[in-house]
């Protein structure tokens, strides 16, 4: 790759969003490898502002688009003529897990145009193998489509593992993220309450924030208040997530949110050495190896969560094994590892 200047388009944290954080670390990884990245940040920018910034960078010959629905649809249209030039290099990193579904849901005539426009990118790098397969079925074989996972800073040093076997302490659970109904926290709270009915054996700390005006807030807070050993501790600063999660045994992720892609918080849980207790929903089963670094359960089922919690309580040695395996898995999602994968794909695509 002779040219090291890249114009990138998409959300860039702060403020904190899942795609914005991913892009922050992609930018960091590329710059650490000598690239100059001009990032057109679509967070809190009007479409007119984004268009003006894009016009200022129109002479560039390398573009990277890392964004979700509205931004990628708009950018594909704006860049379509530019990307038809063989001298222009481009890569698309679709955020979330619904890119193929979005394309298939477009009216036939519009879908054909967008498949043409997106097909002009040299490579498309979704976050999961399943989504890669779905996209390969839509695009011509000359478009390089490969999986590029989410990424996070992974500490060099492992956690100070606090073994669960041989103790009488509580099994410590945590959740970090947005709080809304489809994140499934009411099912998790039901399971914790039932486990603790006769003897308090599990604790749950919830860190997060609510969408403005969400009626679920009152329901969640009331349920959390009435659940023994459950606490809502407010929003956690992003830079503190991994360090704080190292105080826990289990990261609980009971989501059934339709737009769930590759949640970066699962990488943070790996980096913290937490075993992951996750719903078998969307792509969670591709990220969490059931019985190796975590456990999966049926979505929307407090009974399924309770059964897995009971299994962990009955098998304390497995708790410790799963935690150690989770930490070992974290290296696969470090900034260095994923950026190396990205630059390899870019080279394969002709950059």
Write the secondary structure of 305-335 as one string of H (helix), E (strand) and C (coil): HHHHHHHHHHCHHHHHHHHHHHHHHHHHHEH
Q: Are both 147 and 247 inside the same structural domain? A: no
Q: Are both 111 and 242 inside the same structural domain? A: no
Q: Are both 12 and 58 inside the same structural domain? A: yes
Q: Are both 108 and 251 inside the same structural domain? A: no
Token pair 């990205």 in the structure block, residue: 342
HEC per residue, 251-273: EEECCCCCCCCCCHHHHHHHHHC
Collect the ranges in the chain with pLDDT lower than 50: none
pLDDT score at 70 = 84
Measure the CA–CA gap between 12 and 14, rounded to whole angstroms: 6
Bridge partners, residue 67, by sequence: 94
pLDDT score at 53 = 85
Overall number of domains in the chain: 2
Closest CA relative to residue 292, chosen from 275, 273, 305:
275
Token pair 């009974």 in the structure block, residue: 303
Q: What is the CA radius of gyration of the chain?
A: 21
In a domain, residue 159? The reply is: no
Residues in contact with 301: Cβ distance below 8 Å, sequence separation at least 6, in sequence order: 187
Q: Are both 110 and 193 inside the same structural domain? A: no
Q: Are both 195 and 312 inside the same structural domain? A: yes
pLDDT score at 313 = 97
Supply the DSSP symbol for 10.
E
Residues in contact with 288: Cβ distance below 8 Å, sequence separation at least 6, in sequence order: 266, 276, 278, 294, 295, 296
Q: Are both 135 and 209 inside the same structural domain? A: no
Residues in contact with 112: Cβ distance below 8 Å, sequence separation at least 6, in sequence order: none
In a domain, residue 166? The reply is: no
Supply the range of the domain harboring residue 137.
5-151+334-348
Q: Are both 10 and 97 inside the same structural domain? A: yes
Q: Is the dihedral of CA 308, 309, 312, 313 positive or negative?
A: negative
Q: Are both 106 and 200 inside the same structural domain? A: no
Contacts 24+ apart (CB under 8 A), 79-83: 79/117, 79/120, 80/116, 80/117, 80/120, 82/58, 83/117, 83/120, 83/121
The two three-digit tokens of residue 42, written as one number: 């679509």
pLDDT score at 65 = 96
The two three-digit tokens of residue 74, written as one number: 């708009």
In a domain, residue 308? The reply is: yes
Give all strands (DSSP E) within 42-76, no chain letters. 62-67
Token pair 């670094």 in the structure block, residue: 293
Q: Are both 230 and 339 inside the same structural domain? A: no
pLDDT score at 249 = 98
pLDDT in tens, 193-249: 999 999 999 999 999 999 899 999 999 999 999 999 999 999 999 899 999 999 999
In a domain, residue 9? The reply is: yes
Q: Are both 191 and 321 inside the same structural domain? A: yes
Model-wide pTM > 0.75: yes
In a domain, residue 161? The reply is: no
Burial class (CB in 10 A: 0-12, 13-18, 19+), 210: middle
pLDDT score at 261 = 84
The two three-digit tokens of residue 289, written as one number: 């190896």
Measure the CA–CA gap between 280 and 183, rounded to whole angstroms: 13
pLDDT score at 18 = 87
CATH number at residue 340: 3.40.50.2000
266 close to 253: Cβ distance less than 8 angstroms: yes
């Amino acid at each position: 790759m002779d040219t090291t200047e890249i114009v990138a388009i998409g959300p860039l944290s702060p403020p904190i969003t899942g795609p914005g954080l991913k892009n922050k670390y992609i930018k960091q990884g590329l710059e650490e490898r000598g690239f100059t990245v001009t990032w057109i940040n679509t967070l809190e920018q009007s479409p007119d502002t984004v268009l003006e910034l894009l016009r200022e960078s129109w002479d560039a010959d390398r573009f990277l688009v890392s964004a979700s629905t509205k931004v990628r649809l708009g950018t594909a249209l704006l860049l379509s003529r530019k990307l038809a030039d063989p001298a222009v290099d481009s890569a698309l990193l679709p955020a979330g897990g619904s890119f193929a579904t979005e394309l298939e849901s477009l009216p036939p005539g519009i879908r054909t145009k967008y498949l043409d426009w997106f097909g002009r990118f040299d490579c498309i790098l979704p976050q999961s193998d399943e989504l890669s397969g779905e996209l390969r079925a839509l695009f011509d074989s000359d478009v390089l489509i490969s999986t590029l996972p989410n990424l996070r800073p992974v500490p060099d040093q492992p956690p100070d593992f606090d073994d669960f076997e041989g103790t009488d302490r509580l099994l410590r659970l945590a959740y970090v993220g947005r709080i809304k109904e489809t994140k499934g926290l009411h099912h998790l709270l039901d399971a914790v309450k039932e486990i603790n009915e006769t003897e308090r054996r599990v604790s749950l700390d919830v860190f997060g924030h609510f969408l403005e005006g969400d009626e679920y807030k009152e329901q969640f807070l009331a349920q959390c208040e009435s659940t023994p050993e459950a606490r809502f501790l407010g929003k956690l600063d992003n830079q503190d997530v991994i360090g704080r999660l190292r105080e826990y045994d289990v990261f609980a992720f009971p989501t059934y949110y339709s737009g769930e892609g590759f949640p970066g918080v699962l990488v943070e849980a790996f980096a913290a050495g937490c075993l992951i207790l996750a719903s078998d929903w969307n792509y969670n089963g591709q990220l969490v190896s059931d019985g190796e670094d975590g456990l999966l359960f049926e979505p929307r089922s407090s009974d399924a969560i309770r059964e897995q919690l009971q299994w962990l309580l009955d098998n304390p040695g497995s708790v410790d094994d799963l935690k150690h395996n989770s930490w070992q898995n974290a290296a696969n999602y470090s900034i260095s590892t994923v950026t190396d994968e990205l630059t390899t794909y870019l080279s394969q695509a002709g950059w």
